[in-house]
A and B are shown apart, each in its own frame.
Chain A
């Protein structure tokens, strides 16, 4: 079986060393994206914020992820304005509701 070339093989030596060094000192992407999500629920600690920022220097995926979930967060509050009715009341159901209300108002 042939060995797969490293994903960083196309980068110059110094860039590669820089990425590997920072990757060693910052958490893995799976923890960074968890913090990215939690940053919308709580104030991250100074350490978490600093590590996240440093991680973003070497990982455009995580940086993009944070921007995209923030965009989803802002879009979500408008979800109802754009609701396409998925369920509607039939005439009979409306009549039944009105009858129930009329019974109450009598």
Chain B
């Protein structure tokens, strides 16, 4: 049992309790965990099952909670492992087919009439004014969420694992049973699509 709860609370914004209290877990971290699971699984019922599983596992293994990390970080870690296990099993059951995503979009972007394979005047990246200050604005993050939620489920999984969870490429390939070149193509197209969406809906919105 952690004895440094007060100190943890100061260090970790997610940490809220001194002892381990499962009722407080639901109130304090339930929504956070549900959103974490939902953004990756895109299925509310499944996400809720994962939250329940996570809390039960956490309770059964409370002795493993060393109090080093905040409670939320600890619970998120358990949830993340459960989701990765789920991806692993799912990858064995079905093939990863979102490689076709944005293939046409990519062709269209580089369809310069005079120099094929190059940007067109319309598709070329525009100057992003105030890119730095955007990060402090709630509306920018709403646009970012909106754009990333438009990615197909599997591409979004890959993108979130790589960019948000900062997982190593090798580990993602192993978890999702995809080749490295497939991963790179998916990330590349996700970035192309996301960049364009952000430009249209935030940086250069009419």
Taking CB atoms, residues of chain A closer than 8 Å to B116 are: 28
Taking CB atoms, residues of chain A closer than 8 Å to B142 are: 84
Residue B31 lies at the interface, judged by CB distance under 8 Å to chain A: yes
Complex Cα–Cα for A41 and B47 (A)? 29
Task: Given the known inter-chain contacts A37-B184, A80-B164, A101-B55, please indicate yes or no for A88 contacting B194, CB distance below 8 A.
Answer: no
- Bin chain B's interface residue count: 35 or more
B124 touches A61 (CB 8 A): yes
A41 touches B30 (CB 8 A): no
Task: Given the known inter-chain contacts A7-B121, A68-B125, please indicate yes or no for A97 contacting B35, CB distance below 8 A.
Answer: no
Q: Secondary structure of the A side of the interface?
A: helix
Taking CB atoms, residues of chain B closer than 8 Å to A59 are: 118-119
Q: Identify B35's interface contact among A30, A33, A75, A85, CB under 8 A.
A: A85
Residue B38 lies at the interface, judged by CB distance under 8 Å to chain A: yes
Task: Given the known inter-chain contacts A30-B117, A79-B164, please indicate yes or no for A88 contacting B135, CB distance below 8 A.
Answer: no
Complex Cα–Cα for A23 and B112 (A)? 14
Q: Identify B141's interface contact among A79, A94, A104, CB under 8 A.
A: A79
A65 touches B35 (CB 8 A): no
Residue B96 lies at the interface, judged by CB distance under 8 Å to chain A: no
B127 touches A64 (CB 8 A): yes
**Among the listed stretches B4-12, B21-29, B63-71, B85-93, which one makes contact with chain A, having 4 or more residues with CB under 8 Å of it?**
B21-29
Residue A46 lies at the interface, judged by CB distance under 8 Å to chain B: no
- The smallest beta-carbon distance between A45 and chain B, in angstroms, is 15
Interface residues in chain B, defined as those with a beta carbon under 8 Å from any beta carbon in chain A: 22-23, 25-27, 30-32, 34-36, 38-39, 44, 47-48, 51-52, 55-56, 59-60, 106, 109-110, 112-119, 121, 124-128, 131, 135, 138, 141-142, 144-145, 148, 163-164, 166, 169, 183-184, 187-188, 191-192, 194-195, 198
